[in-house]
């Protein structure tokens, strides 16, 4: 597993877009133009057999928008989700990995989809990361266990907890989970 180094001021984090192009657009608007790196915790294009079809389900528009963001100078790092398939790899220009490892402003970050959360937890602790990111549950959460912060940004399309559609922003202060219309749901300082 290679480690990517990122020096951006802010990073956008999302998960479980499940083929919804409007959700991607709302997340980009939330992140703002200063966000040049997006971490996607998986389940990018397909809605999955247990989920209803999300509003704005147009996976072709979504993969074109993700590819366009990357072609325009942005970066998208994707952790492969349980609903992602080989055909998704064929159409998405950003690489999709089981595990994404990066260093951002001196902080070690590990991202996996989260369908095997015990493995993510074990890897995060073993590698002494600062932040472990997952998706999968469609429930936003920020939990600190020892020296590791565990972030699930929730789902941009099919939330399953009490919170609405959400994404997260990493900046120098800490981690914010936000509704797609800009209301702060959760915050954790570094």
Q: Which residues contact residue 82 at a Cβ distance below 8 angstroms, ignoring those fewer than 6 apart?
A: 42, 43, 48, 113, 115, 136
Phi, psi dihedral angles at 69 (to 5 degrees): -60, -45
Which residue spans within the chain are E strands per DSSP? 3-6, 11-14, 37-40, 75-79, 96-97, 100-104, 107-111, 131-133, 141-145, 148-152, 166-170, 174-179, 184-189
Which pLDDT does position 51 carry in this prediction?
A: 77
Question: To the nearest whole number, what is the mean pLDDT of the chain?
Answer: 96
Does residue 119 carry a pLDDT above 80? yes
pLDDT of residue 107: 97
> Are 31 and 10 in contact, with CB atoms under 8 Å apart?
yes
- Contact in structure between 169 and 12 (CB atoms under 8 Å): yes
Query: Residue 163: its pLDDT value, please?
Result: 87
Q: pTM of this prediction?
A: 0.97
Residues paired with residue 186 on neighbouring β-strands, in sequence order: 177
At 73 the pLDDT is 97
Mean pLDDT, residues 81-103:
96
| Each residue's pLDDT tens digit, 29-64 | 999 999 999 999 999 999 888 878 888 899 999 999
pLDDT at 50: 80
Dihedral (Cα; 11, 77, 145, 183), 10-degree rounding: 40
**What class, spelled out in words, does domain 3-189 have in CATH?**
alpha beta
Question: Where do the structural domains in the chain lie, given as residue ranges?
Answer: 3-189
């Amino acid at each position: 597993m290679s480690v990517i180094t990122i020096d951006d001021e802010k990073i956008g984090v999302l998960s479980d877009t499940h083929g919804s192009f409007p959700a991607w657009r709302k997340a980009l608007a939330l992140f703002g133009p200063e966000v040049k790196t997006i971490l996607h915790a998986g389940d990018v294009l397909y809605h999955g057999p247990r989920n209803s079809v999300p509003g704005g389900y147009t996976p072709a528009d979504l993969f074109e928008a993700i590819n366009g963001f990357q072609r325009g100078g942005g970066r998208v790092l994707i952790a492969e989700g349980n609903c992602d398939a080989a055909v998704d790899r064929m159409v998405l220009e950003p690489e999709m990995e089981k595990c994404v490892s990066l260093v951002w402003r001196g902080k070690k970050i590990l991202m996996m989809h989260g369908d095997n959360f015990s493995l993510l937890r074990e890897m995060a602790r073993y590698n002494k990361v600062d932040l472990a990111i997952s998706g999968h549950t469609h429930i936003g959460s920020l939990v600190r266990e020892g020296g590791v912060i565990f972030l699930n940004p929730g789902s941009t399309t099919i939330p399953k907890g009490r919170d609405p559609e959400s994404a997260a922003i990493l900046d120098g202060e800490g981690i914010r989970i936000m509704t797609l219309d800009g209301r702060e749901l959760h915050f954790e300082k570094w």
